[in-house]
Chains A and B, each alone.
Chain A
């Protein structure tokens, strides 16, 4: 079943908070839901499908449809970590195509900052019964040192440098200076990135994303519902998803599931890499962006360092403008899951509603890509290709 043209993103909303001391988790989910429905010109009574992942409280969809008093006939709680919202968009399109719903609400929210989480540097157990835990947890795997091992191997195998990785952060900071909600709005230089303290070799503090509270929501609707709404129309053109893992011990840290999710999305969309005018790329760390751009086919494997260097990712400067909201590296990484904000900024670009200083001229075709879980162990990749209609 192709999903091409099967659904539209009609509503998108990013919560302005970055530290939610005075809000509950369920409240954040509901506030972003309200924001996205208002944006679409719909009400909660129009919602007949609800999607959320492990960041939602309690029993996920059950707890949240109760809290929001939604009367839905379809729920989906697929959880691939930070890429979940991208997968939810594709699954919403599938559910719409199958006639199981016509207005799908997707929410993501979290408050790791208010809770004082050492998100990147403290070893965490997702589920104690996971079969990998005894063979990994005692060694102290953290989010940052797992991505660091990918960077270390990439440097060894392809000659990638810390300076090239730093350019990813430099580009994000150029965009974040225009976003009043961004946590980090100062433009930084390559030197500042490589001279910031090393967290886990070879990643520096400024190679890492922010820890922030907040969230976001999307409303995905059928073509019939979309036709009745007033906002600019963003059409789903292609979607792909793929988990990748340690392959029974045949570990290969040089590529991600984006190799498969990207190829599937491009095939469905029927467009070329060179047609894409804007990309939202998951940026938990600088290495995440570099590897995913290679795996999505924007350059040959191993050439990501050259692709991201010298301002090539800066809107108005380079050939491949990315994360024009400042991304997870500077703007927002709510609930330690950056996928939602990736889709939201792609929607802004396609509507022509990004900040004027970073808006891509006549942006008609955009790609959003997420990686959830950990690039160094097991992760879920998801790619969306979206067009303005």
Chain B
């Protein structure tokens, strides 16, 4: 089964996460990294979820990662693959796997980021086999 295009709802942005979506609009994937403890995290927060420092900064991610787990939602009007992808920078993020053969997906498979348009909002970072 091959991925088809489906309508993606727009992400609701807020002042805390706006830079992430602005970058997505430019085709860049950002992660948040803490200057105090050095850890990267996801989803991005103003306060580091590991040491609670407020000294966190946006960082460009390489856009490369591996599939941690996934599931193809067969019982949907347009079947789609949901996944957790572990980024090279460390954090694991929820996403969709697109432009791929669903039946060839494997845990551990290398993937790279692509950006999918949404209905009237910022594009969503998704992943495709590298």
A67 interface hit (Cβ, 8 Å): no
Smallest distance from the beta carbon of A124 to chain B beta carbons, Å?
Answer: 12
Q: List the B side residues contacting A144 at CB < 8 Å.
A: 73, 75
B111 at the interface (CB under 8 A from A): no
Could you tell me if B74 and A134 are in contact, using CB atoms closer than 8 angstroms?
Answer: no
User: CB-CB contacts of B46-71 with A at 8 A, as 1s and 0s?
Assistant: 00111000000000000000001111
**Quick check: A149 and B95 within 8 Å, CB to CB?**
no
Which of A156, A200, A203, A249 contacts B92 (CB under 8 A)? A249
A122 to chain B, nearest CB (A): 9
A138 at the interface (CB under 8 A from B): yes
B43's contact among A132, A145, A153, by CB below 8 Å, is which? A132
Cβ–Cβ contact A140 & B76, under 8 A: yes
Verify if B3 is at the interface (C-beta below 8 Å from A): no
- Among B11, B73, B84, the most chain A Cβ lie within 10 Å of the Cβ of B73
Q: Does B38 contact A (CB under 8 A)?
A: no
* B107 and A121 contact, CB distance less than 8 A: no
A243 in contact (CB, < 8 A): no
Q: Which of A138, A153, A250 contacts B10 (CB 8 A)?
A: A138
Distance, CA A36 to CA B46, complexed state (A)? 47
Contact of A135 among B40, B68, B70, B93 (CB under 8 A): B93
Partner of B71, one of A201, A248, A249: A201
**In chain A between 127 and 151, which residues have their CB closer than 8 angstroms to a CB of chain B?**
128, 131-142, 144-146, 148-150
Which one of B16, B72, B90 contacts A249 once the chains associate, using CB atoms below 8 Å? Answer: B90
Q: Is B91 an interface residue (CB 8 A)?
A: yes
Within the complex, the shortest CB–CB distance from A286 to chain B, in Å, comes to 14
Residue contact B42 to A249, C-beta cutoff 8 Å: yes
Hey, which chain A residues are within 8 Å of B74, CB to CB? Answer: 197-201
A140 touches B73 (CB 8 A): yes
Q: Digit string of B84-113 for contact with A (CB within 8 Å is 1, else 0)?
A: 101000111111100000000001100000
Q: A153-B68, A201-B74 are in contact. Are A138 and B107 (CB under 8 A)?
A: no
Q: How far is the CB of A281 from chain B (nearest CB, A)?
A: 22
- How big is the B interface, by class? 35 or more
Complex contact A138–B118 (CB within 8 A): yes
Pairwise interchain contact A251-B92, C-beta atoms closer than 8 A: yes
Taking the closest CB of chain B, its distance from the CB of A136, in whole angstroms, is 5
Measured CB to CB, the nearest residue on chain B to A152 is B69
Chain A min CB distance to B12 (Å): 5
Q: Which residues of A contact B69 (CB under 8 A)?
A: 149-150, 152-153, 156, 253
Supposing A201-B71, A249-B42 touch, asked if A139 and B94 sit within 8 A by C-beta, the answer is yes
* A141, A156, A203, A250: the one within 8 Å of B82 (CB): A141
Nearest-CB residue, chain A, relative to B126: A139
CA distance A373 to B94 in the complex (A): 17
A377 to B72, CA, bound (A): 17
Cβ–Cβ < 8 Å partners of B8 in chain A:
138
Cβ of A145 and Cβ of B71 under 8 Å apart?
yes
By beta carbon, the residue of chain A nearest B90 is A249
A247 to B11 alpha-carbon distance, docked (Å): 22
Over the window 244-271 of chain A, the binary record of Cβ atoms lying under 8 Å from chain B Cβ atoms (1 yes, 0 no) is 0011111101000000000000000000
- Name the contact of B41 in the complex, choosing from A128, A140, A203, A249 (C-beta under 8 A): A249
Instruction: Determine the residue in chain B with the shortest Cβ distance to A122.
Output: B76
Chain B residue numbers with a CB within 8 Å of A139 are: 82, 94-96, 124, 126
- CB of B53, distance to nearest CB on chain A (Å): 13
- The answer to whether B83 has its CB under 8 Å from any CB of chain A is yes
Report the bound CA distance from A131 to B39 in whole Å.
20
Q: Is B80 within 8 A of A140, CB to CB?
A: yes
Would A141 and B94 be within 8 Å (CB), given that A149-B70, A198-B74, A249-B42 are in contact? Answer: yes
Q: Which chain A residue shows the least CB distance to B86?
A: A251
**Inter-chain contact B82/A145, CB cutoff 8 Å:** yes
Contacts of B91 in A (CB 8 A): 248-250
Tell whether A136 pairs with B41 under 8 Å between CB atoms, given A149-B69, A152-B69: no
Residue of B whose beta carbon sits closest to that of A205? B75
Q: Which of A132, A248, A249 has the most CB of B within 10 A?
A: A249
Instruction: Point out the residues of chain B lying under 8 angstroms from A145, CB to CB.
Output: 71, 73, 82
> CA separation between A152 and B67, bound complex, in Å?
11
In the assembled complex, the CB of A160 is this many whole angstroms from the nearest CB of chain B, namely 13
Minimal beta-carbon separation of B74 from chain A (angstroms)? 5
* CB of B19 closer than 8 Å to a CB of A: no
B102 to chain A, nearest CB (A): 8
Find out whether the CB atom of B96 lies under 8 angstroms from the CB atom of A199.
no
The 10 A-B pairs at the shortest CB distance, nearest first, are namely A249-B91, A248-B49, A148-B71, A134-B11, A251-B92, A249-B42, A135-B43, A153-B69, A248-B41, A149-B69
Q: List 13 A-B contacts (CB under 8 A).
A: A139-B82, A140-B76, A150-B69, A153-B107, A156-B69, A156-B107, A200-B75, A247-B49, A248-B48, A249-B41, A249-B42, A250-B91, A253-B69
